[in-house]
């Protein structure tokens, strides 16, 4: 049980770092990295609880989550590249003119 607490504490630290990255940074790539850190914290929790309960369902769900996160990064980077071609900037504040 004490081993599980360490994993949860590491996950809390990762979520805090990810939220800090979303709130403070205005660079789109850094914000995408912050989202990935939060997703990895969730995956760490899934695997830690799955291991603690001797159940493989959490580990399988974490693998699917990693695959979905990879697709998310591909789409996100595609959007960022298009925005960079249009604005020559990847600052999130500059994207406000994209509103229709």
Q: Inform me whether the pLDDT recorded for 68 exceeds 80.
A: yes
pLDDT number for residue 21 = 92
What CATH number is attached to the domain comprising 79?
Answer: 1.10.287.3510
* DSSP string for 23-89: HH--BHHHHHHHHHHHHHHHHHHHHHHHHHTT-SHHHHHHHHHHHHHHHHHHHHHHHHHHHHHHHS-
Q: How many domains does the chain have?
A: 1
Q: Over the stretch 19-32, which tens digit does the pLDDT of each residue have?
A: 999 999 788 888 88
pTM of the predicted model as reported, rounded to 2 decimal places: 0.82
The reported pLDDT for the residue numbered 13 is: 96
Structural domain boundaries, residue 48: 2-98
């Amino acid at each position: 049980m004490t081993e599980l607490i360490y994993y949860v504490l590491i996950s809390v630290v990762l979520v805090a770092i990810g939220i800090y990255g979303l709130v403070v940074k205005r660079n789109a790539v850094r914000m995408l990295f912050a989202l990935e850190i939060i997703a990895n914290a969730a995956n760490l929790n899934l695997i830690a609880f799955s291991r603690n309960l001797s159940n493989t369902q959490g580990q399988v769900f974490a693998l699917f989550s990693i695959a979905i996160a990879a697709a998310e990064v591909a789409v996100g980077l595609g959007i960022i590249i298009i925005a960079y071609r249009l604005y020559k900037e990847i600052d999130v504040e500059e994207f406000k003119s994209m509103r229709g």
